[in-house]
Amino acid sequence: MSAAAGSAYATGGMGQSNAETLHKLSALATLGILIGIFAFGNAAFLSVNNGLTVLLQTSVIGLLGIGMTMVIITGGIDLSVGAVLALSGTATGLMVKAGVPVPLAMAGGVGVGALCGLINGLVVTKLRITPFVATLGMMMIARGTALQLTGAAPVSRLGEAFGRLGNGALFRIVEQQPNGLSKVAFPGIPYPAILLLVVALMAAFLLKRRPLGRHIYATGSNEEAARLSGVNVNRTKIAAYVMSGALAGLAGNVLMSRLVTAQPNEGVMYELDAIAAAVIGGASLMGGVGTISGTMIGAFIIGVLRNGLNMAGVSAFIQQIIIGFVVIAAVFVDQLRSRR
Amino acid sequence: MSPLVEMIDIEKHFGGIKAVDRVSLDLREGEVVGVLGHNGAGKSCLMRILSGAMAPSAGTIRVGGAEANIDSPHAARGLGIETIYQTLALADHLDAPANLFLGRELRTRWGNLDERRMLEEARKVLARLNPNFRNLGDPVSRLSGGQRQVIAIARAIYFDVKILIMDEPTAALGPAETAMVSELIRQLKQEGIGIFLVSHDMHDVFELCDRVVVMNRGRKVGSHSVSEVSKDDVLSLIIKGELPGGWVPREAERVQ
Ligand SMILES: Nc1ncnc2c1ncn2[C@@H]1O[C@H](COP(=O)(O)OP(=O)(O)OP(=O)(O)O)[C@@H](O)[C@H]1O
Ligand SMILES: [Mg+2]
């Protein structure tokens, strides 16, 4: 293969520019610097346990961010993911309460999320409502439904099996101590982190190697051109919203499982974290631009910031302010580069 | 033999204005038909209707003698109708091979994108139009207007084309590339492909076309073999919507 063939093959038809690579590198560097600062301030930050905590905390935003990235690349936005997360989680909780086996109930919960996504997609494409308005409506509908179904009360006592997805871990090592008590020698890799990794790899593969992924980029890049090229633009958009909804459902299950309680009030404003993660990672709200790896870095920047600031005793309000600055700075730096 | 395409009594209204007003048009195998007219005459609308990019308000289209329902660009392509749009219709963030194969991606056995084969094929077809074409891995937003136009042309001829619509295909091209496109049109004509060439370039039109169709304010005001009209005649049709007074076909003139 010639050099040119090699490079184009590597970019996967995306004509990935140096600017994009640069953005990712600078985001990665930011992440590294953050970790360095927090580790310097507090040695416990770098401990295995804390690393796993960050992983766990980031998994929910990461899952939402992956779906959000796909929608943003098509040129849309999904404001409903936080509410869909709550609806899906409570749906699963209610099903478990009603005696449905946990795996089936969780699949059902993800299905509820996908259904919300399908409705979003249909409203955007068939009713021609702008994504902002369509998903804003869904945000209210899903949240209202979750609250109505539960009478706004948490659904608790869901059993040990329900908590496994959120609290379990792979390779957990438990040692028997001489005094008869058991001690966790290695907490293991949390299931949510594994789930995030698997979903991220699948999503990246879909975007870069599957025709649907190509169509997602094309639709966001130039919708009319995509249509004239024979791309089924509506179906492409619907697919993106369905994936976003399903991933919100999955994130909802992870979160509620971790709490071992279905909380209809969970996930408020999570959509903003998901958007922030995608944008920090280089996605453009104009469409046509964005990567899963970038969004993952963005999600971890937010996760590490939250965790590190928490450990440093910085209040949640100040954290909010700092993350707000980071979002604006990330986009500003990106614009500086592309303006050149 | 029936024509490749017959467009019969096509109309297109936008609110009150008639962009296309009862136009009938046909195209035969190996025929190059020039479509001329002032800006806003309705040339692109007429062509976009045939491409499936725009729905007509009224009228029928026959392809190969059979009535065709061209309700999407996809449907048109299925009938062998390929279009080079005036706007080029490229996705800016994608590179040349991705644009060339957009909507018709080459796939591996597993249904994944076959990037390598698409790159090879793209290189071949682009070289046919511009031997110096590089930047195959760049997003097309970073290419020159001419390079972008070459991609749009390549996309139309790569696939099995029977009817080619070229809406001002050489507007952004340099002289060398324009010559290449002229040569390409002659080749395609040899292969029996029918071509609609929308152009403002009278010289090109007379050089390449068998017949000229002139539109004026949405109406077809003339359809003549290039041998029977002069450039001045066509100009008069474009501007005034009618032939100069006392016009007789040039060939008829010779016979007299
Ligand atoms: N989508 C649209 N909505 C409303 N009016 C339109 C639309 N597309 C075209 N028109 C109108 O239809 C008429 C014909 O436009 P068209 O693009 O077919 O012209 P044209 O002959 O191709 O001109 P040019 O030589 O400038 O390309 C114009 O008056 C234009 O304003
Ligand atoms: Mg035009």
Taking only the tens place, the pLDDT of each residue in A46-64 is 888 888 889 888 999 999 9
Q: How far is CA A125 from the centre of its chain?
A: 23
Task: Give the nearest chain B residue to A230 (CA atoms).
Answer: B74
Taking CB atoms and an 8 Å cutoff, what residues of chain B touch A227? 53, 73
Q: Compute the distance between CA of residue A34 and CA of residue A328 in angstroms, rounded to an integer.
A: 17
Report how far ligand 1's centroid is from the alpha carbon of B204 (Å). Answer: 23
Q: Which DSSP symbol is given to B107?
A: B
Q: What are phi and psi of B224, to 5 degrees?
A: -135, 145
What per-residue confidence (pLDDT) applies to A10? 39
Q: Compute the distance between CA of residue B107 and CA of residue A262 in angstroms, rounded to an integer.
A: 43
Assess whether pLDDT exceeds 80 at residue B153: yes
Give the CATH number for residue B33.
3.40.50.300
What per-residue confidence (pLDDT) applies to A257? 95
Q: Compute the distance between CA of residue A206 and CA of residue A216 in angstroms, rounded to an integer.
A: 10
Which atom of ligand 1 sits closest to the CA of residue B200? 25
Q: Which DSSP symbol is given to A210?
A: S
What is the domain count for chain B?
Answer: 1
Touching A: B residues 148-207, CB under 8 Å: 155
Report how far ligand 1's centroid is from the alpha carbon of B198 (Å). Answer: 13
Question: Are A252 and A87 within 8 A, CB to CB?
Answer: yes
Question: Are B140 and B152 within 8 A, CB to CB?
Answer: no
Q: What is the mean pLDDT of residues B199-207?
A: 91
Judged by average pLDDT, the poorest of A60-74, A245-259, B134-148 is B134-148
Q: Compute the distance between CA of residue A328 and CA of residue B77 in angstroms, rounded to an integer.
A: 44
Q: Determine what percent of chain A is predicted with pLDDT higher than 90.
A: 69
Q: Compute the distance between CA of residue A166 and CA of residue A258 in angstroms, rounded to an integer.
A: 4
Q: pLDDT grade, residue B252 (50/70/90)?
A: low
- Is residue B130 situated within a structural domain? no
Average pLDDT, rounded, for chain B: 91
Pairing relationship of beta strands A182-186 and A173-176 according to DSSP bridges: antiparallel
Long-range contacts of A255-258 (CB under 8 A, 24+ apart): A255/A60, A255/A85, A255/A89, A255/A166, A256/A89, A256/A90, A256/A92, A256/A93, A256/A162, A256/A166, A257/A106, A257/A162, A257/A163, A257/A164, A257/A165, A257/A166, A257/A167, A258/A56, A258/A163, A258/A166, A258/A167, A258/A192
What per-residue confidence (pLDDT) applies to B134? 85
What per-residue confidence (pLDDT) applies to A18? 66
Assess whether pLDDT exceeds 60 at residue A146: yes
What per-residue confidence (pLDDT) applies to B90? 96
What per-residue confidence (pLDDT) applies to A12? 53
Q: Compute the distance between CA of residue A276 and CA of residue A61 in angstroms, rounded to an integer.
A: 10
Report how far ligand 2's centroid is from the alpha carbon of B85 (Å). Answer: 9
- Is B134 within 8 Å of A4 when comparing Cβ atoms? yes
Q: Which two tokens stand for residue A91?
A: 């749906």
What per-residue confidence (pLDDT) applies to A7? 38
Q: pLDDT grade, residue A338 (50/70/90)?
A: low
User: Which of A5, A214, A222 lies nearest to residue B105, judging by beta carbons?
Assistant: A214
Question: Are A76 and A240 within 8 A, CB to CB?
Answer: yes
What per-residue confidence (pLDDT) applies to B133? 86
Q: In the sheet that B17-27 helps form, which strands lie side by side, from edge to edge?
A: B17-27, B5-14, B58-63, B66-67
Judged by average pLDDT, the poorest of A65-74, A292-301, B104-113, B133-142 is B133-142
Q: Compute the distance between CA of residue B249 and CA of residue B32 in angstroms, rounded to an integer.
A: 20
Judged by average pLDDT, the poorest of A217-221, B215-219, B242-246 is B242-246
Q: Compute the distance between CA of residue A311 and CA of residue A319 in angstroms, rounded to an integer.
A: 12
Q: What are phi and psi of A210, to 5 degrees?
A: -105, 150
What per-residue confidence (pLDDT) applies to A339? 61
Mutate to test the interface with B, among A229, A233, A235, A291 (most CBs of B within 10 A): A229
Q: What is the mean pLDDT of residues A194-220?
A: 97
Cβ-based contacts under 8 A for chains A and B: 120
Assess whether pLDDT exceeds 60 at residue A83: yes
Assess whether pLDDT exceeds 60 at residue A32: yes
What per-residue confidence (pLDDT) applies to B67? 95
Question: Are B35 and B46 within 8 A, CB to CB?
Answer: yes
Within 10 angstroms of residue A185's Cβ, the number of other Cβ atoms is 10
What per-residue confidence (pLDDT) applies to A16? 54
Q: What is the mean pLDDT of residues A139-168?
A: 94
User: Which of B53, B90, B119 lies nearest to residue A8, judging by beta carbons?
Assistant: B119
- Is residue B173 situated within a structural domain? yes
Within 10 angstroms of residue B42's Cβ, the number of other Cβ atoms is 25
Judged by average pLDDT, the poorest of A41-55, A224-238, B183-197 is A41-55
Plot region of B124 (φ>0 → left; ψ -120 to 50 → alpha; else → beta): alpha
Cβ neighbors of A72 (< 8 A, separation 6 or more) are A220, A275, A278, A283, A284, A285, A287, A290
Q: A156 versus A84: which is more confidently predicted?
A: A84
Residue numbers of the domain that contains B234: 5-91+161-255
- Is B53 within 8 Å of A1 when comparing Cβ atoms? no
Q: What is the mean pLDDT of residues B178-195?
A: 92
What burial class does residue B1 get, using C-beta atoms within 10 Å of its C-beta: 0-12 exposed, 13-18 middle, 19+ buried? exposed
Determine which residue's CA is closest to atom 5 belonging to ligand 1.
B14
Determine which residue's CA is closest to atom 11 belonging to ligand 1.
B19
Assess whether pLDDT exceeds 50 at residue A3: no
Q: pLDDT grade, residue B255 (50/70/90)?
A: very low
CA angle, corner B194, sides to B253 and B235, nearest 5?
A: 40
Q: What is the mean pLDDT of residues A125-151?
A: 97
Report how far ligand 2's centroid is from the alpha carbon of B86 (Å). Answer: 6
What per-residue confidence (pLDDT) applies to A9? 39
What per-residue confidence (pLDDT) applies to B251? 66
List, for residues A210-234, the tens digit of each pLDDT value.
Answer: 999 999 999 999 999 999 999 999 9
Q: What is the mean pLDDT of residues A170-191?
A: 82
Which architecture, in CATH terms, is A3-339? Orthogonal Bundle (1.10)
What burial class does residue A7 get, using C-beta atoms within 10 Å of its C-beta: 0-12 exposed, 13-18 middle, 19+ buried? middle
Q: Where are the domains of chain A?
A: 3-339
Q: A1 versus A331: which is more confidently predicted?
A: A331
Q: Compute the distance between CA of residue A335 and CA of residue A333 in angstroms, rounded to an integer.
A: 5
Judged by average pLDDT, the poorest of A3-12, A112-121, B59-68, B216-225 is A3-12
Q: Determine what percent of chain B is predicted with pLDDT higher than 90.
A: 71
| Residues listed for chain A | 340
> Which is it for the CA torsion A284, A285, A290, A295, positive or negative?
positive
Q: Compute the distance between CA of residue A220 and CA of residue A291 in angstroms, rounded to an integer.
A: 13
Cβ neighbors of B243 (< 8 A, separation 6 or more) are B222, B229, B233, B236, B237
Long-range contacts of B63-70 (CB under 8 A, 24+ apart): B63/B4, B63/B5, B63/B163, B64/B2, B64/B4, B65/B2, B65/B3
Average pLDDT, rounded, for chain A: 90
- Is B92 within 8 Å of A222 when comparing Cβ atoms? yes
Taking CB atoms and an 8 Å cutoff, what residues of chain B touch A9? 115-116, 119
Q: What is the mean pLDDT of residues B89-108?
A: 96
User: Which of A11, A17, A227 lies nearest to residue B73, judging by beta carbons?
Assistant: A227
Assess whether pLDDT exceeds 60 at residue A5: no
- Is residue B107 situated within a structural domain? no
Q: Compute the distance between CA of residue B168 and CA of residue B170 in angstroms, rounded to an integer.
A: 6
Q: Compute the distance between CA of residue A22 and CA of residue A20 in angstroms, rounded to an integer.
A: 5
What per-residue confidence (pLDDT) applies to A129? 97
Q: Does B71 touch chain A (CB under 8 A)?
A: no
Assess whether pLDDT exceeds 80 at residue A239: yes
Q: Which two tokens stand for residue A40?
A: 């310097």
